[in-house]
């Protein structure tokens, strides 16, 4: 057993060494990965498809206004409702935002028609119409929910949307022309084209990716893209009507 004097000497020596060394050096924080932007346009080749007027006479509220089919919406050679994103699984792990994605039933239509959702994020469905709707959510042929939605009723909030890579479709069986789609990703690098066909993905980590452009009627197109710091990557997708079968 060490004598009190020796124990004191050892303690003093340890203290002196610690004083000389100073506090443990703070570990340097990793530098944030540089980022860039992907921007572009989704165009349409050929004549714009005709949009039939929807038959909405089954509901007097819906019949007050006329609406055209939204299956394919082209304006000035640009295509609306295309969901553009980095391929799932290629952009790291990202927490779901606390703010929900909102789809509104307005004028007996869904708006927006196509939305992007991060896995785990809530989808909120609002009824702003003075009429009854039901909201049916489908994952392929599987019905996830089927909810009554009265005029002025509370919004429906759903988090059971499936996994990244899934697409949940929304339907109203009372008004069968109503449809919308929620595309689920594992990252926030996506956008949906408006009437001008434009899209922009910001703060994308530098690197090489597969970019996907998906339309609910026209399907999927892909392109390779390389993101560089401070230099926007430009991408154009082009869709066209299916060729008529040979006779």
Give the DSSP per-residue string, 48-63: PPP-PBP--TTSHHHH
- CA–CA gap between residue 78 and residue 194 (Å, rounded): 9
Give me the pLDDT at residue 183, please. Answer: 98
Segments of the chain with pLDDT less than 70: 1-31, 243-247
Tokens of residue 246, six digits: 């040979």
Q: State the pLDDT at residue 230.
A: 81
Task: Please report the pLDDT score of residue 165 as a whole number.
Answer: 96
Q: Is residue 25 part of a domain?
A: no
Question: What's the pLDDT at 44?
Answer: 97
Give the total residue count for the chain: 247
**Considering the domain boundaries, does residue 8 fall inside one?**
no
pLDDT of residue 27: 64
The structure tokens listed for 205 are 């980590």
Number of folded domains in the chain?
A: 1
73 belongs to a structural domain = yes
The set of residues, in sequence order, having a beta carbon less than 8 Å from that of 44 and lying 6+ positions away, is 74, 77, 78, 79, 197, 238, 239, 240
Query: How far is the C-alpha of 74 from the C-alpha of 68, rounded, in Å?
Result: 12
- Residue 115 is assigned to a structural domain of this protein: yes
Instruction: List beta partners, residue 210.
Output: 224
**Could you tell me if residue 93 is inside a domain?**
yes
pLDDT at 160 (0 to 100): 87
CATH code, 99:
2.60.40.420
Global confidence as pTM = 0.85
Q: Within a domain: residue 145?
A: yes
Instruction: Answer yes or no: is 169 within a domain.
Output: yes
Residue 174 neighbours by CB distance under 10 Å: 16
pLDDT given for residue 8 in this prediction: 41
Spatial distance between the Cα atoms of 214 and 118, rounded to a whole number of angstroms: 16
Q: Cis before residue 112, ω within 30 degrees of 0?
A: yes
Long-range contacts of 32-36 (CB under 8 A, 24+ apart): 33/205, 33/206, 34/205, 34/206, 34/229, 35/202, 35/203, 35/204, 35/205, 35/206, 35/227, 35/229, 36/204, 36/206, 36/227, 36/228, 36/229, 36/230, 36/231, 36/232, 36/233
Residue 121 belongs to domain spanning: 35-239
pLDDT at 16: 47
Q: Output the pLDDT for position 241.
A: 83
Cα dihedral sign, 176-181-182-185: positive
Pairing assessment for the beta strands 142-149 and 179-185 based on DSSP bridges: unpaired
Task: Kindly state whether residue 116 falls inside one of the protein's structural domains.
Answer: yes
- The reported pLDDT for the residue numbered 30 is 63
Contact between 114 and 154 (Cβ < 8 Å): no
Q: How many CB atoms are located within 10 Å of the residue 100 CB?
A: 17
* 99 touches 122 (CB < 8 A): no
């Amino acid at each position: 057993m060490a004598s009190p004097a020796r124990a004191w000497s050892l303690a003093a020596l340890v203290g002196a060494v610690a004083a000389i060394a100073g506090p443990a050096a703070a570990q340097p924080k990793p530098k944030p990965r540089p980022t860039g932007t992907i921007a572009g346009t989704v165009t349409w080749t050929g004549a714009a498809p005709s949009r039939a007027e929807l038959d909405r006479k089954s509901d007097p509220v819906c019949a007050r206004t006329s609406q055209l089919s939204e299956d394919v919406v082209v304006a000035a050679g640009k295509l609306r409702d295309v969901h553009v994103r980095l391929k799932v699984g290629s952009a790291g792990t990202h927490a779901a935002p606390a703010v929900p994605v909102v789809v509104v039933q307005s004028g007996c239509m869904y708006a927006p028609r196509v939305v992007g959702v991060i896995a785990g994020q809530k989808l909120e469905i609002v009824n702003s119409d003075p009429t009854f709707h039901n909201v049916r959510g489908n994952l392929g042929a599987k019905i996830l929910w089927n909810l009554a939605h009265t005029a002025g009723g509370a919004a429906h909030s759903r988090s059971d949307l499936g996994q990244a890579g899934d697409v949940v479709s929304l339907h109203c069986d009372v008004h069968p022309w109503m449809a919308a789609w929620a595309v689920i990703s594992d990252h926030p690098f996506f956008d949906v084209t408006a009437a001008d066909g434009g899209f922009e993905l910001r703060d994308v980590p530098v690197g090489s990716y597969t970019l996907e452009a998906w339309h609910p009627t026209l399907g999927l197109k892909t392109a390779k893209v390389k993101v560089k710091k401070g230099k926007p990557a430009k991408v154009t997708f082009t869709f066209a009507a299916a060729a008529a079968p040979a006779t």
